[in-house]
Amino acid sequence: MALVSYGACVLCQRAVVVKIMSRGISAAAQPEVDFLKGESHKKHPGVTNLKTLRLPDELQTAARSIIHRAPVARLTDRSRSLTNYLWSKKRAVEDSTLRQKAVSLEKELWEKAMEKREDMDEQLLEDRIKKKVFSELKKTTYHWTPMKYDEELAVVYMAARLAGGYAAVRRAMHEIKKRDPSFAPKTLLDFGSGLGTVAWASHSCWGDTLKEMVCVDSSGPMNVLAERLLKGDEERAEPHIKHVYFRQFLPVSPKVQFDVVAAAFTLSELPNGKDREEAVLTLWRKTSSYLVLVENGTKDSHRMLMEARATLLEKQDKIVHDARPASVFAPCPHKLPCPKLALKPTTPCNFQQMYNPLPLMGHKERQTEKFSYLIMSRTEPAEAEEEAVNWNRLIAPVLCRSRHVHCRMCCPDGSLQHLVVTARKQSRDVYRCARNSDWGDQLPIIQRVDDDGDVDDRTDSE
């Protein structure tokens, strides 16, 4: 009886080895990686998406009260127009680009004039060409103007952007909370605070651990409105979130730092690249742990965030108050140049978050906020427990098909990849994680080793 059992056991072991080898993977190389860390496939560590968000009850009640009291005509139409304007707004053309364009156009006009060999006074011809260059530049150059908010426009902005802005910031902050659960910030700085959505989103993430939140915005009417929202539109009421302080200028001392520094939809309001670079360096000096930048999910906004990323990674010599280097926390899984910027035509790296808007006439029950973001950290990200796991960022909706999943990802080696995930090629765990992941999540890919020693991650390039 014992011999029969032993023989059956040997046959079973041989069958397992044959099954593994038939897939091109050696038995010894089968990785056993606990990337789930005790979580279910639906809540694996790479999931950072949130379900449909709604404003905190106190914030929504206050916003509705302010709108009800405000004598703003055609609020729904104006809020829709403002939303479209802010989304389509481009960054200002740099002076150097404008000069280069003017020189090129002037040269082209002179060449045409010389070909015609017109008998004309040279000074008169020069004046005519300069006038034509100026006229052409005026017609073809984007006319950027800064936003100036009075009391009425601030209310229109609140109706248009309060819920969507909150959803984008809340989603970005949630990633820090999910991936760094021990982080408990005590201080926060919000540059370009507007309606105070960063304070509300941060409070939703970390609650009462935040003991000081400094909101900086140059617009007096916007600061007043943000304070009204905190107090529930009751002048003498206690603010719902305590220890929030409004300022029109950044703290003077360069040595004062905050655990979290944020700038949401602010870089796009700065007039040129030099101002954006200086602002980013200043904010980084004031960051002790995380810097969070959020913008609209447009090409220009994505490019501005990548410029900010490059500034912090490449210009450490300008940051003298803290020697700890900058590292990319999210969304990029690498420090290399963004591969999306090399594509033709260029497509932005953006993400989306579903949310419930303010219940106003003309607003749908559920809307989508499309945004781009960048989170930089003072500390290097924790090393994976197993080197065989690469966490890739999903940069497009996941397409679930019969027994396989299409995933488009940005990878740690700086490439864009299209991976078809199956239980057979990757593993049952990876496959189930892929089916439960979505645009913006991270996906663990286990590299398997063939018999000849080659690494096989079954990935096709874009």
Taking 80 as the threshold, does the pLDDT of residue 27 lie above it? no
Quick one: CA dihedral 338, 339, 345, 347, positive or negative?
negative
Average pLDDT over residues 10-34: 39
Nearest-CA neighbor of 32 among 389, 399, 432?
Answer: 389
Is 26 or 299 the better-scoring residue by pLDDT? 299
Print the SS3 string covering 376-423.
EECCCCCCCCCCCEEEEEECCCCEEECCEEEEEEECCCCCEEEEEECC
> What pLDDT, on a 0 to 100 scale, did the predictor assign at position 311?
95
Instruction: Dump pLDDT digits (tens) for 369-383.
Output: 999 999 999 976 554
Is-contact 351 373, C-beta < 8 A?
Answer: yes
Q: Nearest 5 degrees, angle CA 163-CA 165-CA 170?
A: 95
Higher-confidence residue of 201 and 73: namely 201
Q: Give the DSSP H/E element, type plus range, for residue 310.
A: helix 299-314
Answer whether 0.75 is exceeded by the pTM: yes
Predicted confidence at residue 202, as pLDDT, reads: 97
**What would the two tokens of residue 40 be?**
């279910």
Least confident residue range of 2-16, 212-226, 314-328, 410-424? 2-16
Per-residue confidence at 446, pLDDT binned at 50, 70, 90? Answer: low
Percent of the chain with pLDDT over 70: 84
> Mean pLDDT over all residues of the chain?
83
Look up the CATH number of domain 53-87+146-377. 3.40.50.150
Question: Per-residue pLDDT for 398 more than 60?
Answer: yes
Task: Report, as an integer, the average pLDDT of 172-196.
Answer: 95
State the pLDDT confidence band at 19, using cuts at 50, 70 and 90.
very low
Lowest mean pLDDT among 100-114, 161-175, 327-341, 356-370: 100-114
Q: What pLDDT does residue 96 have?
A: 79
Query: Rounded CA gap, 237 and 224, in Å?
Result: 14
- The residue among 144 and 243 whose pLDDT is bigger is 243
Name the residue ranges covered by the structural domains of the chain. Answer: 27-49+385-461, 53-87+146-377, 95-140
Query: pLDDT band for position 338 (50/70/90)?
Result: very high
More confident of the two residues 104 and 437: 437
Which residues are registered as beta bridge partners of 214? 189, 245
**pLDDT value for 172:** 97
Q: Which of the listed ranges 12-26, 404-418, 436-450 does the model predict with the highest average pLDDT?
A: 404-418
Residues 6+ apart with CB under 8 A from 373: 168, 171, 172, 292, 293, 294, 295, 305, 330, 331, 351
Residue 119 has pLDDT above 80, yes or no: no
* pLDDT for 118: 61
User: Is the predicted pLDDT of residue 262 greater than 50, yes or no?
Assistant: yes
Summarised one tens digit per residue, pLDDT across range 285-300 is 999 999 999 999 999 9
